[in-house]
Amino acid sequence: MTCDHSAIVQHAWVIPALPLLSFALVGLVLRPLNARLAGAVAAAAVALSAALGWWLAFDYLQFAPPAEPLPTLIPWQVEWLRFQDGLRIDAGTLLDPASVLLVVVVTTVSALVHVYSLAYMKGEPGYGRYFAVLNLFTFSMLGLVLAPNLVQMFVCWELVGASSFFLIGFWYDRPAAVAASKKAFVVTRFADLGLLLAILLLGQAAFDVRTQLGASAGDSQALDFAFLGRADVLAALAHQAPVLGGMTALTLGCLLLFVGGAGKSAMFPLHIWLPDAMEGPTPVSALIHAATMVVAGVYLVARAFPLLAAADGVLTVVLAVGTFTALFAAAIGCTQDDLKRVLAFSTLSQLGYMMLALGTCGGGDPAGRSAALFHLFTHAFFKALLFLGAGAVLHAAHTGDVWHLGGLRRKMPLTHALFLLATLAIAGIWPLSGFFSKDEVLAAALHGGHPLVFAVGLGVAGLTAFYMARVYLLVFWGEPRREASAHVHEAPLTMVLPMGALAVLAAVAGFVPVSRWVALPGTAEHAGIDWLVAGPATAAALAGFGAAGWLYGGDLGRSDAAVARLGRLYGALRHKFWIDELYLWVARKVMFRLVAAPIAWFDRMVVDGTMHGVGLLTRLCGAGVQAAQTGQAQAYAAWALAGGLAVVGLLWAAGRAG
C-alpha cells in the first residue's frame, strides 16, 4: 500500500509541515523584523497548505469508484518512540475519508482566517506573534487529524490546547482575557487527563491482546488506530476481565476517552471555558473555537468509533451528554447579550448535535457517525462565517453587545448579506448546507430508535433559528441604539473576500456527498431527502424565525414582556444556570480549602522545610569553610603543603596496605 500513490498522497506530511516551517520562520526570524511580512508569509504558507489539501482530497477521491469504500492509507510514517515490540509509536500520516475531510476543512478555514486576520489585526502590537501562533495551531490541528495512533493525536491535542491558550490570552494586558485563557487551559487540562488515562489503559489492554494474538498481530502496534479497529482485537478487548467497578478496560478507557473529547469539544459539564474563550481575537474564535479545535473531540470519538461501539453503554453516555448539551446551550444562547457569546453557545449546541449523532449509533448502524462528520464539515463553514461576520461588526462598531448595535444593514450591506446567509444555513433552510447535515443528524436519531432525542433535536433546531434570528435582527435591523453603531463602515476587502469564500462553501457544502464517503462498512444507504425528518425540522426553524421576528423584529416591548413572563427561568438561563458560580464555589470552598490548603501546608512545611534545612546546612558548612578563606596567601600555602603531605601519607598507607 505504498507504491502507486500520487505525489501528494505520498507526501501528505507536507501539508502540516508548511505551517510548522512558517511558524518557526515567522516566530523566530520575521516577527521582530517586519510584522507585515510576517503576516503575509504566515498566510501564504497556510494558503499553500490549503491548496495542497484540496489537491490531496481530489487525488484521494480518485482511489475507488464510489461504490467501494475508500481505502485507509498510511503512506508515510517514521519510528518515533520505541518502548518495546508491539508498543512502538510512529509519527505519520493516516489518510482515510475522515482525516482527508478534516484536512480540507482545517486548511481552508485556516487559510481564510489568516487572510481575514491580515486586515482585522492590523495595527495590533502582537501582529507577528499572532500569526506565528496561528500557524502553530494549524500545524498542530493537522497533526492531530492525520495521527495514525493515539499518542501522536494526544501530543497534537495538547499542542492545539496550548495554541488556544496563547490565542485566547493574546491581549495579555486585559485581565478578562488572561482569566479566560487560564480557565480554558485548566478545564481542558482536566479533561485531557482523562484522555491520557484512556491512552494508558487502552494501551495496556491492547498490548495484552496483541501478545495473545501472537503472530497474527503482524507488525501492528498496540496504540495504532488500525490495530484498535480490528474486529478480532475488539472482540478480545470486550471479553477481558473487568478492571474497575465491573467495567472492562475497554469500557473504562472509552469513557475516559470521551471525557477527553468532551473537554475539548466543551460538552456539558466541561463547557464553561468556551464562552469565556471569546475574549480572544474574533478570527481566533472563528478558527479555533468554532470550526476546528473544538470539533477535535467529535473527531476523536469518530476516529475511535469502533472502540466506543464495542464498549458497553459508552455511546449511550455520548448520546445523553450530546443531547443535553445541545438543548442546554441553545436555551442559554437565547438569552445572551454579547454577539460572540451567542455564537459560542451556538457552537456548544451544534457540537452537542454532532455528539448526539455519534451517540445514536448504539443500535449498530453507524449512520450517525457519517452524519456527525457531515455536520462537522458544514458547521465549520457557516459557523466560521458567522464569527467572521461578528468580527466585521466588532471591527466597525467596537462593541459586541447586541443592545448597543442595530440598523447595521444599511452601513454594512455585504456583511449583512453574508451574515444572513450563514444564519439561514445554521437554521437549516433549504438549500443551504445546514439543512442537509441537520437532516442527516435527525434522521440518524429517528432511525436509530431514539424518538425522544429526535424530539429534542427538533426543539434545538427551533431554538437555533430563534437565537440566530434574534441576534441578526437586533444587530442589523431597527435603528442604531448607540452612537457607536451609527458611524460604522463596511469591512475592508481583505475581510470581505474570505467571508465571501466561506459563504460559497456554506451554501454548497450540503451537496457534497460527505456522508457517503465517510460511511463505515455496514451503514444503511438512504437516498435523497427524508421529508419525514426535513419537514418537521424546517417547520421548527421557521417557527423559531417567526417567534424571533415577532419578539425582536418590531416593537422591542414585546420581548421585554416575554422576559417578564418567563421570570425565574429567564434569569437562570441568563446566568447560564450558575454553573460557573457552582464550579467556583466548589473550587474555592472544597478544593482550595480541603485539598489545596493542606497540600500547600505540607509543601511549605515539609517539602520546603527540608529544602531550607538542606540550604541552612550548606550555609553553615560554607561558613565553616569560609574561615579558611582568609585571603592570606601564606594560609593557602600552609594548606597546600598540608594537602601535599596528606597525599604522601595516603600513598604510604596504601603502600602498607598493598
Partner 1 sequence: MSAEALRTALFWLFAALSLALAWSVVGNRRLLRAAAALMGVLGCSAGFYALLGFGFLAGVQVLVYVGGIVVLLVFLVMLTRTQALLEDEPTPWRHNVGVVAALAFFATNLWALAGLPDAPVVGPALGGDTRAIGRALLDVGATGYVLPFELVSVLLLAALVGGIAVARKVDPASQSAEADHG
Partner 2 sequence: MAENLASGATGLHAWLLVTSALFSVGVYGLLTRRNAVGILLSLELCLNAAAVQFVVFNAVRAPARVDGAVMALFVVAVAAAEVVVAMAIFVLLYSRRRTVDVTDLTGDGPGHAGGAP
Grid cell listed for 349: 449546541
Which residue, 62 or 634, has its beta carbon nearer to partner 2?
A: 634
Task: Looking at residues 70 to 129 of the shown chain, list those that interact with partner 1 (rule: CB under 8 A).
Answer: none
Least distance between partner 2 and beta carbon 628 (Å): 14
Least distance between partner 1 and beta carbon 646 (Å): 10
Reading phi first (left if > 0) and then psi (alpha if -120 to 50, else beta), residue 406 is in left
Reading phi first (left if > 0) and then psi (alpha if -120 to 50, else beta), residue 622 is in alpha
Q: Let me know the angle formed at the C-alpha of 31 by 29 and 35, rounded to the nearest 5 degrees.
A: 135
- Side-chain-facing half-sphere of 503: CA atoms under 13 Å: 19
Which residue, 531 or 652, has its beta carbon nearer to partner 1?
A: 652
Binding mask 573-612 for partner 2 (x = CB under 8 A): ----------------------------------------
Asked whether the beta carbons of 345 and 325 are under 8 A apart, the reply is no
Which residue, 569 or 637, has its beta carbon nearer to partner 2?
A: 637
Query: Distance of CA 22 to CAs 106, 143, 167, 283, 503, Å?
Result: 16, 15, 17, 19, 28
Q: Which of 642, 643, 650, 653 binds partner 1 (CB under 8 A)?
A: 642
Which residue, 611 or 646, has its beta carbon nearer to partner 1?
A: 646
Q: For partner 1, which stretch binds (CB under 8 A), given 100-108, 260-268, 547-555, 642-650?
A: 642-650
Asked whether the beta carbons of 336 and 574 are under 8 A apart, the reply is yes
Which residue, 521 or 631, has its beta carbon nearer to partner 2?
A: 631
Please, where are the H alpha helices in 407-556?
408-411, 413-427, 433-447, 451-476, 493-508, 514-518, 531-552
Comparing CA positions, the residue from 346, 324, 323, 326 lying closest to residue 275 is 346
553 vs 558: CA distance, rounded Å: 10
Asked whether the beta carbons of 544 and 466 are under 8 A apart, the reply is yes
Q: For partner 1, which stretch binds (CB under 8 A), given 56-64, 93-101, 552-560, 636-644?
A: 636-644
Q: For partner 2, which stretch binds (CB under 8 A), given 126-134, 244-252, 502-510, 633-641?
A: 633-641
Which residue, 176 or 642, has its beta carbon nearer to partner 2?
A: 642
Reported as type and span, the H/E element at residue 88 is strand 88-95
Least distance between partner 2 and beta carbon 627 (Å): 13
Binding mask 590-629 for partner 1 (x = CB under 8 A): ----------------------------------------
7 binds, among partner 2, partner 1, none (CB under 5 to 8 A by kind): none
Which residue, 621 or 653, has its beta carbon nearer to partner 1?
A: 653
Least distance between partner 1 and beta carbon 627 (Å): 14
Q: Which of 584, 617, 648, 653 binds partner 1 (CB under 8 A)?
A: 648
311 vs 518: CA distance, rounded Å: 22
Q: Which of 638, 646, 647, 648 binds partner 2 (CB under 8 A)?
A: 638
Q: For partner 2, which stretch binds (CB under 8 A), given 106-114, 241-249, 569-577, 626-634?
A: 626-634
Check binding of 638 to partner 1 (CB under 8 A): yes
Q: Which of 605, 630, 643, 652 binds partner 2 (CB under 8 A)?
A: 630
648 binds, among partner 1, partner 2, none (CB under 5 to 8 A by kind): partner 1
Check binding of 634 to partner 2 (CB under 8 A): yes
Give, as one character, the DSSP assignment of residue 216. Answer: G
CA 129, 134, 140, 146 dihedral sign is negative
Establish whether the linkage from the previous residue to 269 is cis, with ω within 30° of 0.
yes
Reading phi first (left if > 0) and then psi (alpha if -120 to 50, else beta), residue 647 is in alpha
Binding region for partner 1 (CB under 8 A): 638, 641-642, 645, 648, 652
Binding region for partner 2 (CB under 8 A): 630-634, 637-638, 641
